[in-house]
Structure formats: structure tokens, C-alpha cells
Amino acid sequence: MTLLPQEIIRRKRDGATLADEEIHHFIQGLTSGHVSEGQAASFAMAIFFRGLSVPERVALTRAMMNSGEVLKWDLPGPVLDKHSTGGVGDTVSLALGPAVAACGGYVPMISGRGLGHTGGTLDKFDSIPGYVTQPDIDTFRRVTREVGCAIIGQTADLAPADKRLYAIRDVTATVESIDLITASILSKKLSAGLHGLVMDVKFGSGAFMDNADDARALAESLVLVANGAGLPTSALLTDMDQSLASAAGNAVEMAYAVDYLTGRKREARFHEVTVELSAEMLVLGKLAADIVEARAKIEEAISSGKAAEVFQRMVTALGGPSDFVERHHTHLNAAPIVRPIHAERSGIVQKVATRDVGVAVVALGGGRTRPQDAIDHAVGLTHLAEIGESVDADRPLAIVHARSEEAAKAAERMVRAAYTLGDAKVEPGPMILDRIGVKS
């Protein structure tokens, strides 16, 4: 057996099943720098087209997990986390982590940056002045222990192979691979030393898996591999046929999350998904006897303001302003051009090409086309109209937040094209399609 990177790529390109040793050797090379960016891209593309068997998937996950430190915790409560497969306006982590911590869980959430048309939790936290999104491990441990929640990015110590491959996938059209998504997500989560994990697997026009069957296959892969590795995991299939929050961007989503936690704005669709995912975490962590009790605990944590308090403590502990929750609008950067995007005709929103809405945010500067690109945290879209909602001269499709007149006009064209209007009344589908657990 040859362990040359190019031979491993060739074997997978030709449809061979790779041995554990080959996968581990390639990932070691990716971590050390002996595997080039071009070779990593070719490896990802070969997997994209040829796929991995379940044993290969497990081997890739373990290899990336073991490419760095694997955390162990000594805390008085369960260590829990949630991960989303990505979407537009998916601001759930910002509210969920503090809410679960307020109920007695410990949430060391290792988040990623934006991939393709989807926003990244880490990019949203980068919009907070002073917030350190990549602290050292000791700080990560301390904040998790003292606050109950720490939302950070991958450090050099945790799953470094995934960090490198993640950035390459973003710009080589290899994001939508069940095998790579499974290994990427779970390598980070397993390295965090969790006791329970809930997956938010999205389907629809704004998700990487645009139909429910593909999303179900991904959810089953994640649940199978995670539980096989000893991490109790379940998954919810959630709708992404429109932006989950009415804001899409970085600072605008951060402001949305704070408004949600403080009760200034609480939209039904976003609230439902946040509560259900949080409740699932409490059940996995044995902090509630059943889902009904868990929902009640999460609702109380949010409505009482306890979750907002945890959020502020986390922001302060990681270097952000001590009055951020109270005065977030004064701390977040604002775009110089803010104006409504009106539809060319009045009507009822029939459907939304949600991916195109996300692409509009990227085009504004709120996302990346190359791994090294800087992000403009101020730009984005707010007040996005929902399916079934009427738009007219008083109710725009959205409000654009842009850096330049040219960028604003381009976003306006893209948003108008993403919305289909009609005269018929429309009821959007259910937010949560199904729950995927371990098959007995």
C-alpha cells in the first residue's frame, strides 16, 4: 500500500475503498502541511463524486478529530451542543447556547465561518467589538465553566485538519457532500468532549440539501456516525425554504438575536426552531424528563431574561462590551446605505429562492468568495418578507444595508428576482418535519 497523497487521491477518484491507514495518513499530511491545498481540493472532489462507505466516514471523522487536542471536562452538569448544517438567517446558536446554559447545561460551542451562501456563527460574533472568537483553550475552558456557555471558533488545537479542509471546501464547490459534512461537523464536536449533540439538518431552497430526502440521509449519517463514536446524538429536519430570521448578515443578525433574547422582537418561526432544538438538548443531557418539560424550561429561560443575562456574561468574558445587550446598536457597525427594497408589483409572497437571498448578502460583502476574503460585518438584509405575507408600497420585500450605491442596487435586483409574488393565499409548510434518533 502506497501512502503518497496523489495515490490516495487517485484510488478514491477511481472508486476504491480507502483503508483507515490511508485516510489517517492523508489527514496527518493535511495537518502538517505536507499535503498541498491543491491535493486537499482534489481529495474533497474525489469524495464528492465517489462517496465514502460508513467505515471510511468514521475513519475520516476520527482522523480529523485526532488531528488536534480532544477536550475532557469536569463540570457539575452535562456538556451539550447543537450544530446546524447552515442556512440563511440561521441565528439560532446565538440564542440557544445561553438558553441551555441558563437551564443548567454547559455549552462549549465551536462554530464555523460562512460556507457558500450561508452565514457563519463565528462571523456574527466577530461583529462584536473586542469579542475574541478564537481564544486559547484555557480561556475557552474557563468561560464555559464560569458562564455555562462559550461560542468560539476552531483554535489551532481543535480539529486543525478540518479547519483547513473547511476553508478549501467553501471555494471549490465541494460543500454539498454528505460524507464531508458528516466528518467536518462531527470531528469538531467529538473533539469538544460533548455528552450530547443535537443536529439541525436543514432542507429547502436555502439549504445545502434542497430536498427533504437528502436532508434525511445526512441526518441519518450524522446520527449513525456520532452515536457509533459514543456521542448521544439526535437530529431535527427543519425548513429552509425562506430565511429563518428576518435578518441575514452579520451585525444585523447579532442585533436580531439580542432583540430576541430581550423580548424586543420574537418571531414565531425562529422561536419555534430555537425552543425545539434547545429542548432536545435538555432531554439528551437529562436536564428534563421529557420534551414537554424541556420546552417549558427553555421558554422560561428566554422569557425571564436569564438567557439574555448568560449571553451578556459570555460576551464580557470573551472581551466584548459589558453593556452590549443593553446598547448593542451603539457597538455594532452600521452600513452607510439603508433603504427598502420594494417589489415591482403588490402581491403575496408565494415562494423564495432563499439561496439567492444568501448570495445577495455575500455579494454585498457579508460573505466570502475566497478563504482569505475579509467580511464587511455591517452589510446585509433585514425585514425580509415571509411566505404568505403581502408586500406593497408600505411593506417592502426587505431593507438593504449596503456599503455603496452600486452594491445596494445589485442586491436590490437579486432580492427582487428571489421572490415570487402572486395573488393566492399561501400557508408555509411546517418548520420541523421530523426527528431522527438512534434506531433500536
Active-site entry in 57, 113, 169, 269: 169
**Would you call 221 a catalytic residue per the annotation?**
no
Which runs of E-coded beta strand occur in 225-371?
233-239, 248-249, 337-341, 347-352
Give the separation between CA 246 and CA 242, rounded to whole angstroms: 9
Burial class (CB in 10 A: 0-12, 13-18, 19+), 146: exposed
- Cα–Cα distances in angstroms (integers) from residue 164 to residues 67, 82, 134, 174, 262, in the given order: 11, 22, 15, 14, 37
Active-site entry in 174, 177, 184, 262: 184
**Would you call 163 a catalytic residue per the annotation?**
no
**Would you call 169 a catalytic residue per the annotation?**
yes
Active-site entry in 57, 141, 188, 368: 188
Tell me which CATH code domain 80-328 carries.
Answer: 3.40.1030.10
**Would you call 81 a catalytic residue per the annotation?**
yes
Residues near 332 by beta carbon (within 8 Å), at least 6 away in sequence: 127, 128, 251, 254, 255, 377, 378
Give the separation between CA 9 and CA 22, rounded to whole angstroms: 10
Burial 257-284 (b: 16+ CB within 10 A, else e): bbbbbbeebebebbbebbbbbbbbbbbb
Active-site entry in 67, 84, 246, 278: 84
Active-site entry in 25, 62, 81, 238: 81
Block residue for cell numbers 456516525: 225
What is the architecture of the domain spanning 334-422? Alpha-Beta Complex (3.90)
In a structure prediction context, what are the per-residue pLDDT tens digits for the chain, which is 440 residues long? 779 999 999 999 999 999 999 999 999 999 999 999 999 999 999 999 999 998 899 899 999 999 988 899 999 999 999 999 888 999 999 999 999 999 999 999 988 776 667 768 899 999 999 999 999 989 999 999 999 999 998 777 778 899 889 889 878 989 878 899 899 889 988 988 999 999 999 999 989 888 999 999 999 999 998 988 889 999 999 999 999 999 999 999 999 999 999 999 999 999 999 999 999 999 999 999 999 999 999 999 999 999 999 999 999 999 999 999 999 999 999 999 999 999 999 999 999 999 999 999 999 999 876 667 789 999 999 999 999 999 999 999 999 999 999 999 999 999 999 999 999 999 988 999 999 997 65
Give the separation between CA 238 and CA 368, rounded to whole angstroms: 25
Q: Count other Cβ atoms within 10 Å, centred on residue 143.
A: 22
Give the separation between CA 39 and CA 44, rounded to whole angstroms: 9
**Would you call 316 a catalytic residue per the annotation?**
no
Domain coordinates in residue numbering, the chain:
5-51, 80-328, 334-422
Active-site entry in 24, 113, 164, 189: 189
Active-site entry in 31, 121, 127, 205: 121
Strands 80-84 and 196-203: what pairing? parallel
Overall CATH class of domain 5-51: mainly alpha
**Would you call 53 a catalytic residue per the annotation?**
no
**Would you call 83 a catalytic residue per the annotation?**
yes
What 3-state class would DSSP assign to 170? helix
Active-site entry in 12, 25, 57, 82: 82
* Cα-only R_g, the chain: 21
